Amino acid sequence: MESTGAPAFDALAAKVSELAQVCARLTQENASLRREVSRLSAGTGTAAGQAAASSTAGARAKLELPTAGPTRPLNGKVSRRLMGKAAGAAAVTAMGAAALVEAGAQPAAAATATADANGNSVTAGAVTKAESSTTVLYDGSSGFKGVVLLGNDSTYPAAAASYPAAAGGWAGAGGTAGAGGVANGIYGYTDNGAGYGLVAYNSGSVAGSGGGVLALAAGSSACGVRASNSEGTAVSGTSQSTAGEATAIVGVISSTSPGGFSSAVRGENNGTGGDGIGVWGSQAGSGWGMYATSASGIGILAEGGSGTGVSASGSTGVSASGSKFGVFAGGAVAVQAQASGSGQAVNATNNSSTLATIKAVNAGTNSGIHATSKGRGGVFGGNLAQIQLTPGTGSTHPKGGSRGDLYADKNGRLWFCKKGGTTAAWHQIA
Which residue did the predictor score with more confidence, 29 or 385? Answer: 385
Amino acid residing at 304 = G
The pLDDT of residue 82: 40
Amino acid residing at 21 = Q
The pLDDT of residue 329: 73
The pLDDT of residue 345: 77
The string of pLDDT tens digits covering residues 105-133 is: 343 333 333 345 577 788 888 888 888 88
The pLDDT of residue 117: 57
CA 147, CA 159: separation in Å to the nearest integer? 7
The mean pLDDT of 277-282, rounded to a whole number, is 94
Confidence band (pLDDT; 50, 70, 90) for 100?
very low
The mean pLDDT of 375-393, rounded to a whole number, is 92
The mean pLDDT of 390-404, rounded to a whole number, is 95
Cα 24 to its chain centre, rounded Å, is 47
The pLDDT of residue 13: 66
CA 255, CA 245: separation in Å to the nearest integer? 22
The string of pLDDT tens digits covering residues 36-49 is: 776 676 554 444 44
Which residue did the predictor score with more confidence, 268 or 344? Answer: 268
Weakest mean pLDDT among 140-149, 239-248, 294-303, 384-393? 294-303
The pLDDT of residue 370: 85
Which residue did the predictor score with more confidence, 104 or 393? Answer: 393
The pLDDT of residue 85: 45
CA 394, CA 410: separation in Å to the nearest integer? 6
> Over pLDDT 90: what percentage of the chain?
48
Instruction: Say if CB 170 and CB 150 are below 8 A apart.
Output: yes
The string of pLDDT tens digits covering residues 54-84 is: 444 443 333 333 333 333 333 444 444 444 4
The mean pLDDT of 92-102, rounded to a whole number, is 42
> Over pLDDT 70: what percentage of the chain?
77
Confidence band (pLDDT; 50, 70, 90) for 194?
very high
The pLDDT of residue 75: 40
Domain chopping of the chain, boundaries = 2-112, 140-171, 389-430
CA 124, CA 338: separation in Å to the nearest integer? 73
The string of pLDDT tens digits covering residues 327-337 is: 777 767 777 77
- The CA angle 289-291-294, to the nearest 5 degrees, is 160
Which residue did the predictor score with more confidence, 199 or 49? Answer: 199
CA 104, CA 310: separation in Å to the nearest integer? 82
Question: Does residue 400 carry a pLDDT above 90?
Answer: yes
Instruction: Say if CB 319 and CB 307 are below 8 A apart.
Output: no
Question: Does residue 350 carry a pLDDT above 60?
Answer: yes
Instruction: Say if CB 214 and CB 202 are below 8 A apart.
Output: no
CA torsion through residues 418, 419, 421, 423, sign: negative
Mean pLDDT over each residue of the chain, to the nearest integer: 79
Weakest mean pLDDT among 64-68, 201-205, 376-380, 382-386? 64-68
The pLDDT of residue 54: 45
Indicate the pairing of strand 2-3 with strand 406-408: unpaired
- Helix-strand-coil split of the chain, %, nearest 5: 20, 10, 70
Helices 80-103 + 6-40 axis angle, to 10: 10
CA torsion through residues 47, 52, 56, 59, sign: positive
